[in-house]
Amino acid sequence: MRYGFTLIELIVTVGLIAFLLTFSSLNFISTQRKTTLQDQVLLLSTDIRGQQLKAMSSDTGGSGTVSNYGIYFQNQTYTLFRGDTYSAIDPENYVVTLPETTIIVDVLFPNSQIVFQKGSGEILNFNNTQNTFSLTDSQLGESHLYTLNALGVIQ
């Protein structure tokens, strides 16, 4: 009497294990990509609120003068800045780079920027027809649309 497994039984078992590992890996990668986009949406929402709060609290940013605060959007980055308008040469700007598959599209704010007024936190020169932008994962095809009202509230 011989004990053990036949070659066919071993091949079938190894094949099933390989199939299950492959399937679970693919699901994990998809879940990880969705989580990355959700993390970027949360980070951008937090940065928008942070810039608005700085404007409302009359944060001087160490300069001694109260200023407006804003966000300037580009394709794969957005920049947090202080002042009435974005300046690429300002060393105090803080640039946030998004993952390579996450892009900012359809920015309808004037000059691709949102500026919050000092004191009130309202959007400077608000235009009701130019108040949206979206964050998109180019590989998943998922998108999150942002619409802000005059008070800077994300709707």
Distance of CA 64 to the CA centre of its chain: 31
pLDDT grade for 115, boundaries at 50, 70 and 90: very high
Check residue 27 and give its pLDDT: 66
DSSP 4-73: S--HHHHHHHHHHHHHHHHHHHHHHHHHHHHHHHHHHHHHHHHHHHHHHHHHHTT--TTSSS---EEEEE
Break the chain into its structural domains and give their ranges: 7-147
Check residue 28 and give its pLDDT: 63
pLDDT tens across 63-74, in order?
A: 778 889 999 999
pLDDT tens across 25-43, in order?
A: 766 666 555 567 788 888 8
Check residue 94 and give its pLDDT: 92
Average pLDDT over residues 2-26: 81
pTM, entire model = 0.74
pLDDT of 101 strictly over 80: no
